[in-house]
Structure 1
Amino acid sequence: MRNLLLLPLLAASPMALADDMASMNKGAVSTDAVSTDAASMDTMGMHDRDLHSYFSFDRLEYQKADAGTALAWDFEGWVGGDVNRLWLRSEGERTNGRTEEAELQALYGRAINPWWDVVAGVRQDFKPASPQTWAAFGVQGEPLSDLDTQATFYLGENSQSALRLEGEYDLPITQKLILQPRVEANLYSRNDPLRQVGAGLSNVETGLRLRYEFIPEFAPYVGVNWNKQFGRTADYVRQEGDDVEEARLVVGVKMWW
């Protein structure tokens, strides 16, 4: 009789042991996942002690504009480690030898994970009109592979503020031939007739460029760039006798070092 009573206990013991092992394995998986993320950030912190640099002209191009030939540039670079960096950005345009737009940004950037940085600093506009200084705050990163995005908020003079959204994606056609669509939108909080920008959505610029990478550091390209003004900004442009929408053929080079 005593042996019969022990049989259920003996049968239950392996099941209980299996449940305990399963619980331990679940805990181990969760711990391993957390440890992997922590190790990734720890590794970034270790590499942050090393000083590196990267500079690139994402766009350095001639454009066939209605008003003549334009030279446009979009420069970006950084100095620092994997976590803390000093970022430099510059973009602008010269038409028929005259500077129409030019700006320079100096930003402190800090990585919050392997894919995203937060940035803060200053932006200086040299053209159009008189120089203007902005405080800058934003995020930048790659939500998807080969998709670069930036969202930057600016606080300027006379209670003016602005938001710039940018995104570009590299679409490989062959190993060396790459198609890159790009979009940029600018929004402002106040009208500024002197600089011909209106409150709300000011302009959207899109482009499509096909480049050939002779080497990764040097790639000439051809493409088309389209720009359209909206709202009050479009009204200012019409008052000057200019078109609110323009498409341009572009020829340029993308390079980094």
Structure 2
Amino acid sequence: MGAMGPPDVPTSADDPGRPRQPPPPPGALSGPSHAADAVWGAGQMTGPREILRRENGDVRATAVIIDRLEAGFGDGEESWLWDVSGWTGGDINRFWWKSEGGSAFDGEVEGEIQALYSRAISPFWDVQAGLRQDFRRDGEDPTHLVLGVQGLAPYWWEVDAAAFLSTEGDLTARVEAEYDQRITQRLILQPRVEVEASATDIPELRLGSGLTHVEAGLRLRYEIAREFAPYVGVEWSRELGGTADLTRALGGEPEHTRFVIGLKAWF
């Protein structure tokens, strides 16, 4: 039995197996730019189109993030800290503020606040620049220039890295990284690491040059709601190099382990 040949019809040069299609009629593309205008009128559709553009285009939003609001217990000392931030803006340009600090339960509070312009430089990374203001127990409250990056590293590590140049000429840096390991839909284990460094000795802050401080912790949180999650955990910290030497010279211990309980939330 012989094979049948293809039908004898004209074909397209781009797709030899497809019959040639006639061009669209001249009036096919002559309608209004927005077809709904022909039914409802251009004036009536202006408002709905603006809502569509605003909600699905260049969206401006605002968020406040309480990353850590916690109390710590260990080595005979009870302390508390805050680590909060917020932003407002769109996908490309945002204003960020960040604040962290704390103290012993019976001590004076120290902290900082940053005001930053943030611009996306890739789908996963933002570059940030601005100012940081410190609030210290000794009354010396230096201001710093800030330059850093923030984003999502491979394997879903959230990273925040910045360098700080103070009004006193001190150059320091800090890198924070954390990762959410979801155990169930609501139970999440978060490893977190923080490393600090200084370009020079800063005796008034009890800092030596080089790497000065490292923290590593594990926090297990339960999301009662996505926006509200209490947690418990453990954190180890150690001062390094010349910073550890200064701490020992003043009668302190450079290494600490503490248990923590706290709250993570956002809105």
Give the TM-score normalised by the residue count of structure 1: 0.79
Q: Give the percent of matched residue pairs that are identical in Structure 1 and Structure 2.
A: 44
Give the alignment partner of residue 166 of structure 1, picking from 155, 176, 196. 176
* Equivalent residue number for residue 152 of structure 1: 162
Runs of 4+ in 1 over 3 A off after TM superposition: none
Distance 1:142 1:162 in 2: 23
* Corresponding letter in the other structure for 1:195: L
Gaps of 5+ in 1: 1-16, 19-42
- Aligned partners of 2:116, 2:207: CA distance in 1, in Å? 24
Going by fraction, where is helix more abundant, 1 or 2? 1
Indicate the residue corresponding to 1:182 in structure 2: 192
Distance 1:114 1:199 in 2: 35
Indicate yes or no: 2:122 matched with 1:113.
yes
Match of 1:136 in 2: 146
Larger CA Rg, structure 1 vs 2 = 2
Higher relative strand content: 1
Structure 2 letter corresponding to 1:249: F
Q: Deviations over 1:200-233 (max 9, x none)?
A: 0000011100000111000010000111001111
2:94 alignment partner in structure 1: 85
Deviation (angstroms), 1:146: 3.6
Aligned mates of 2:187, 2:91 — CA distance in 1: 29
1:60 aligns with 2:104: no
Query: Match for residue 244 of structure 1?
Result: 254
TM-score (norm. length: structure 2): 0.76
* More moved, 149-158 vs 104-113: 149-158
Shift of 1:47: 4.0
Distance 2:116 2:165 in 1: 14
The residue that corresponds to 1:200 in the other structure is: 210
Amino acid at match of 2:203: P
State the match for 1:72 in structure 2: 81
Aligned to 2:240: 230
User: Secondary structure of 2:246's partner?
Assistant: helix
- One-letter code aligned to 2:261: V
CA separation of 1:161/1:231 partners in 2, compared to 1, >3 Å: closer, same or farther? same
Q: CA RMSD in A?
A: 2.0
Amino acid at match of 1:94: S
| CA-CA distance at 1:67 after TM superposition | 4.9
Question: C-alpha distance in 2, partners of 1:100/1:186?
Answer: 20
How many angstroms apart in 2 are the aligned matches of 1:99 and 1:146? 36
Q: Which SS does the other structure have where 2:242 is aligned?
A: helix
What residue identity is the alignment partner of 2:218?
L
For structure 2, the residue ranges without an aligned partner over 5 or more in a row are 1-13, 16-52
Would the aligned equivalents of 1:102 and 1:128 in 2 still touch at CA under 8 Å? no
Deviation (angstroms), 1:128: 5.0
Q: Which amino acid aligns with 2:206?
A: Q
Tell me if structure 2 keeps the 8 A contact 1:203–1:230. yes
Moved more, 130-139 or 61-70: 61-70
1:69 & 1:155 partners in 2: Cα distance?
31
